[in-house]
């Protein structure tokens, strides 16, 4: 450590001299001096919450950070444990847990950035092994018995990926993403990782039409990017997960996706994407799905960013068009208001469609499409305790099933639900400035 101090001081003295000469040639790194923390094209680590998806540059990032041999090591988690209640004949109640943990390692090598991310969940081993009551929610994987109105546990291996970003010039770079478990270039950032949904333990009801591919076992993505935009394409395994969330469901790639992302301003990120998935639901053999999504994200620091106050909001549209059967669409608006890294107020409003088949309705209702509206509100109060922020939270939701047929089955036109929970997360990290 003492030997590296003179080298760091020398680097600080050399940099102004290079700027005075016009800054045409980059200053070579002296032995023992680590490359800058910003990635190629001066992109901050907070722009990429998971997979290869982008958020605004002003988005806060929760985690703890250290540096070992020029590797930037970041640890993150989001853990909810509490009592969940969904009223009505198709509801339920009980103790449950939603959780994930991430370990991220990144380093610069001759201008290129290497990023290794490992995200895992213990939901399948804990209180949520049988799923959590969530009215109108449908499963995110194949199950032996038909399931509806429950949020099933996450796969144990949510992401295990390698992302390499190599500059092709001063303003252009190439990305290669390889993931035994990861995200294809499809849809917005996962609801588990995007800031606008970070305080909400539940998945959106429109998850199956928006970011359902956020845990895919087998992904290859190539991307071309500049500071403000990125175009990318993925070849991946589009089959659903099996009934065991503890294994890898690897299979030959059989699905394709493409996405265009634009960050025109530091506080704004836009994306549009589409995919073709072969037979993604084993209950409908031979039926493929064409999925289309579009989204907009806004991140606004409130006052001094170091004070930990931010507003994040998202608007997301998704559509599933099967080769047989009705097309379903969904839209949501959600937001999280973080005040002083202690108070989190969150809200989500959705309008979507569910087919009768997805809701396990008998014929002839199984061929119909039903409109649904949903509203969720919540609050979390966090307590600062060093590298962890334990918190106490409350969530309330109301779902309007709109039609009389669904009202009779759910016992009410607007069935209610709620959850009281304890939550653990890291504090907001201090991040280097990312110029545009």
Domain ranges of the chain: 34-425
Kindly report the pTM of this predicted structure.
0.88
pLDDT for 190: 93
For domain 34-425, the CATH architecture is Beta Barrel (2.40)
Instruction: For residue 13, give the H/E element and its range.
Output: helix 4-20
pLDDT value at position 432? Answer: 66
Query: Mean pLDDT of successive 10-residue segments in the chain (436 residues)?
Result: 37 35 41 67 91 95 92 95 94 93 93 94 78 87 72 91 94 96 95 95 94 91 97 92 78 94 97 92 80 97 81 97 92 97 96 92 90 97 91 97 91 94 94 60
pLDDT at 433: 57
Task: Find, among 397, 403, 424, 307, the residue nearest to 353 by Cα.
Answer: 403
Contacts of 123 (CB under 8 A, 6+ apart): 97, 98, 99, 129, 153, 154, 245
Cα angle, residue 373 at apex, residues 371 and 375 outer, rounded to 5°: 170
Q: For residue 278, what are its two tokens?
A: 């072969």
Contacts of 74 (CB under 8 A, 6+ apart): 45, 63, 64, 65, 102, 103, 104, 105, 106, 429
The answer to whether the peptide bond before residue 215 is cis (omega within 30 degrees of 0) is no
Rounded Cα gap, residues 387 and 76, in angstroms: 10
Element (H, E) at 219: strand 219-225
Q: Please list, in sequence order, all residues whose beta carbon lies within 8 angstroms of the beta carbon of residue 57, skipping any fewer than 6 positions away.
A: 44, 46, 47, 263, 266, 267, 299, 434, 436
């Amino acid at each position: 450590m003492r030997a590296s101090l003179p080298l760091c001081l020398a680097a600080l003295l050399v940099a102004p001299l290079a700027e005075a000469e016009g800054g045409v040639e980059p200053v070579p790194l002296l032995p023992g001096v680590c490359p800058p923390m910003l990635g190629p094209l001066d992109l901050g680590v907070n722009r990429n919450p998971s997979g290869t998806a982008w958020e605004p540059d002003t988005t806060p990032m929760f985690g703890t950070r250290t540096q070992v041999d020029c590797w930037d090591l970041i640890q993150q988690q989001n853990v909810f444990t509490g009592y969940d209640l969904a009223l009505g004949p198709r509801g339920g109640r009980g103790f449950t847990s939603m959780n994930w943990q991430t370990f991220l390692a990144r380093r610069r090598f001759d201008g290129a950035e290497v990023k290794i991310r490992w995200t895992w969940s213990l939901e399948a081993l804990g209180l949520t092994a049988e799923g959590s009551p969530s009215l109108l929610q449908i499963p995110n994987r194949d199950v032996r018995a038909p399931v509806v109105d429950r949020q099933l546990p996450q796969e144990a291996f949510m992401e295990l990926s390698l992302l390499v970003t190599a500059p092709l010039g001063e303003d252009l770079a190439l990305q290669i993403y390889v993931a035994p478990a990861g995200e294809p270039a499809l849809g917005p950032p996962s609801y588990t990782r995007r800031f606008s949904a970070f305080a909400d333990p539940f998945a959106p009801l429109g998850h199956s039409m928006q970011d359902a591919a956020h845990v895919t076992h087998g992904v290859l993505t190539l991307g071309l990017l500049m500071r403000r935009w990125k175009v990318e394409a993925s070849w991946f395994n589009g089959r659903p997960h099996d009934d065991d969330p503890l294994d890898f469901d690897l299979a030959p790639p059989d699905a394709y996706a493409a996405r265009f992302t634009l960050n025109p301003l530091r506080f704004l990120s836009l994306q549009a994407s589409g995919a073709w998935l072969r037979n993604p639901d084993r209950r409908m053999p031979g039926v493929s799905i064409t999925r289309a999504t579009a989204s907009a994200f806004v991140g606004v620091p409130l006052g001094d960013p170091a004070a930990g106050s931010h507003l994040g909001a998202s608007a997301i549209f998704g559509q599933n068009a099967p080769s047989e059967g009705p097309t379903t669409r969904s839209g949501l608006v959600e937001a999280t208001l973080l005040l002083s890294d202690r108070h989190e107020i969150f809200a989500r409003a959705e309008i979507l469609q569910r087919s009768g088949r997805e809701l396990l309705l008998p014929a002839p209702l199984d061929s119909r499409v039903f409109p649904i509206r949903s509203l969720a509100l919540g609050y979390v109060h966090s307590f600062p305790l060093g590298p962890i922020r334990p918190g106490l939270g409350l969530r309330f939701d109301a779902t309007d099933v709109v039609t009389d047929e669904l009202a009779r089955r759910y016992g009410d036109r607007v069935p209610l639900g709620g959850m009281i929970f304890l939550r653990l997360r890291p504090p907001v990290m201090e991040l280097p400035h990312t110029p545009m």
